[in-house]
Structure 1
């Protein structure tokens, strides 16, 4: 890893992403007078005013990401969001004002979405969102698109990230890294080989899942909750979408599952996905050079992981 990005570096990156989104939108025929940054962390989200369009530009990326792999994931996201919208599922769909394709501009890959008014009158209810996640799983069961098994686990990235972190004891404590590496040796075959997963968890069916904690990615619009951010759409057990949330959220999901005629969560699979989620948190610290604040805001997750039994 290189030295950490400075606040000036991050501000420059955000400005470059905004400018790329404005230029790309204008090239697609949108009338844009300014780009207003609505949000920035792993991605920069820009309202292309006065057009009712928002651009999302990923800016903090795993070192294993290529332009081709990123564009593939974005196409899958656009396709599943459009399909769900067409089925009547409450989602943020792709913008109908531009072609449904990611656009490459100035080193960024950009997708376009409708500007949606947010209801800021109350705090997010992640327990209720966990119950709603069962509605999403029920809708996704018949999604016809082709999806790889647990691609959102990013196994190639995790393996290489743990290697990279060997030289960064200032980011991950050596004893934490040792445990992560030992657990990954057990977990990696279950993540990369569908047959190994099925042998470990017989009878647990696989289906399209959101891939990136849908309870945290439900947008509170003024017209009600909308599922969003399908960047990590994948095929796997439904437990994948409840990783790391805890018993109260799991119970809420089970209530939603019962309403939808779906099975309850499997405790063994939950332990597996929680373990993978924890290792992915540590692996993402290899990207802290791009987003230094990551070290601090991921620390509570690592502290919680330390208190759990190692996966073996």
Structure 2
């Protein structure tokens, strides 16, 4: 049977992450006397009060991720979010009080962001958020930095997780795992090769994209909405940012795209990114031992995946 981290183990991990963030913050010259955890799931997010600085410390990670690879991804996030902020795009910016770079301590790699007060009374409007994502894409088109092709799909994570899950029958059935592996053999070449993707989907342009469902990562600040959490920023088709959101939110995005003079979403590419997104959900079952509550989030996705065409119809 699979070993799952206990609530006590998770609490110790959170405490260690907070202690590391406080120590780094103080080492960088910040006044930190009342650190407060604002949120935790895959990361621990800590307000280093009274300083207007938030530390984000990823704590639930694939086994193949080390501090060096994690820092490279975090630097890309800081670079993109900082550039967007400098252009006047409404984002949560990196903190101006510390260097714009990740810092490692105690086995964690962390980044530092400007504290923004949240409007806790406002429910997310995902239709409006999806239309707004087209504005973000329009801003990102001019980003001058280099980004890897579809790194947000995390192909190494998917491959390694499907192998690990063979030893975890309590997390996935053999039949489901067999289907996932067969689908990945179809989809992996298109994820790993820009040339293969462009051959399969000719005329679909690529650009910098958020990488991690931006309609769900718009922060409701007291002074307005802000794009946030660019941890998976990548080069790819805009459809990636709308994966698994459904027709209503896709239509909302298309309205925003038309307003920005951009193309509408491509149905074939949507089928592809939806299929890849579902396999990433299956692969994420391998993270459940680190975060048992994750199973509650993943079960509906797994159930939906079983009803979908094989590999999103890409193999047809």
Q: What are the residue-to-residue correspondences of 1:114-153 with 2, within 5 Å?
A: 114-153=114-153
The CA distance in 2 between the partners of 1:225 and 1:122, in whole Å, is 10
Work out whether residues 35 and 47 of structure 2, in 8 Å CA contact, stay in contact via their aligned partners in 1: yes
Structure 2 unaligned runs (5+)?
Answer: none
CA distance in 2, matches of 1:64, 1:83: 29
TM-score (norm 2): 0.97
Match of 2:304 in 1: 304
Is 1:98 matched up with 2:104? no
TM-score (norm 1): 0.99
Cα distance in 2 between the residues matched to 1:126 and 1:251: 12
Q: Quick check: 2:2–2:168 contact (8 Å CA) kept in 1?
A: no
For residues 234-273 of structure 1, the aligned pairs below 5 Å read 234-273=234-273
Q: Is 2:284 aligned against 1:284?
A: yes
1:183 aligns with 2:180: no
CA distance in 2 between partners of 1:174 and 1:163 (Å): 12
String of CA shifts for 1:46-75, please: whole Å, max 9, x gaps.
011111111000000011111111000000
Shift of 1:125: 1.0
* Residue 79 in structure 1 maps to residue 79 in structure 2: yes
Contact 1:19 1:35 (8 Å CA) reproduced: no
TM superposition outliers: structure 1 runs of 4+ over 2 Å: none
Instruction: Tell me if structure 1 keeps the 8 A contact 2:53–2:113.
Output: yes
Backbone CA RMSD of aligned residues: 0.9
Q: Which residue of 2 aligns with 1:203?
A: 203
Q: How far off its partner does 1:34 sit? A: 2.2
- Post-superposition shift, 1:156? 1.0
Distance 2:122 2:95 in 1: 27
Matched-pair contact (CA < 8 Å) for 2:54–2:112: yes
- Matched residues in 1 for 2:16 and 2:26: separation? 15
Pairs aligned (count): 312
Q: Deviations over 1:16-59 (max 9, x none)?
A: 10011000000000011021111000000001111111100000
The answer to whether the 8 A contact 2:133-2:256 is kept is yes
Question: What's the CA shift string for 1:106-143, capped at 9, x where partnerless?
Answer: 11111111110111122111111110000000000010
Aligned to 2:23: 23
Q: Structure 1 residues 172, 2: closer, same or farther in 2, change over 3 A?
A: closer
Alignment of 1:161-180 (within 5 A): 161-180=161-180
Measure, in 1, the Cα distance between the counterparts of 2:303 and 2:136.
31
Task: Identify the residue that residue 34 of structure 2 maps to in structure 1.
Answer: 34
Pairwise CA distance, 1:2:
5.8
Q: Is the 8 A contact 1:39 1:46 kept in 2?
A: yes
Whole-angstrom CA distance in 1 between matches of 2:180 and 2:2:
22
Secondary structure of the residue aligned to 2:36 is: strand
Return the alpha-carbon distance in structure 2 between the equivalents of residues 294 and 223 of structure 1: 32
